[in-house]
Amino acid sequence: MLLLASCAKKTPPAPPPPPPPTLTETPLPESRTAEFRIGPIKESRSADGTTIFIEGTVENTGSRASRDVHVQVDGLDANGGQVASADALPTPQEIAPGTVATFVVRLPNDRTIRTYHVEAIGR
């Protein structure tokens, strides 16, 4: 008598999952901004003496071009109080790094104005 026995074959185990990818750190690029410096300003009066014109420049000292720039000029009294204010859009509106735009505003010729505060804001 001959007995034959057979064994059922087991399926092989699944292969292990692949290792996770190697993590690397990439430095972020330097933050780029538009920053402004107000150049010298020039004051002049209208022929009839009722208006003061303030002309000046805005330099982009940042690392990217600016946009949506506006300039505000405040006429201040001897105590630093605001007497008059005007806004202007410098030309050109997009100011590349290291370049300059110009602006002109009109203020009433108020005898109490002693000095000016000029500020440029943009993106």
pLDDT average, residue stretch 91-120: 96
Predicted pLDDT at 123 = 85
Name the fold adopted by 36-121: Immunoglobulin-like (2.60.40)
Place of tokens 């208006």: 51
Percentage of the residues of the chain whose pLDDT score is greater than 90: 68
Q: Which residue has the higher pLDDT, 1 or 12?
A: 12
Tell me the pLDDT band of 83, cut-offs 50, 70 and 90.
very high
**Domains of the chain: which residue ranges?**
36-121
Using a 10 angstrom Cβ sphere, with 0-12 exposed, 13-18 middle and 19 or more buried, the burial of residue 55 is middle
The position carrying tokens 């150049």 is 39
Which amino acid is present at 86? A
pLDDT score of 115 more than 60: yes
Mean pLDDT rounded to a whole number for the chain: 90
Does pLDDT of 92 surpass 60? yes
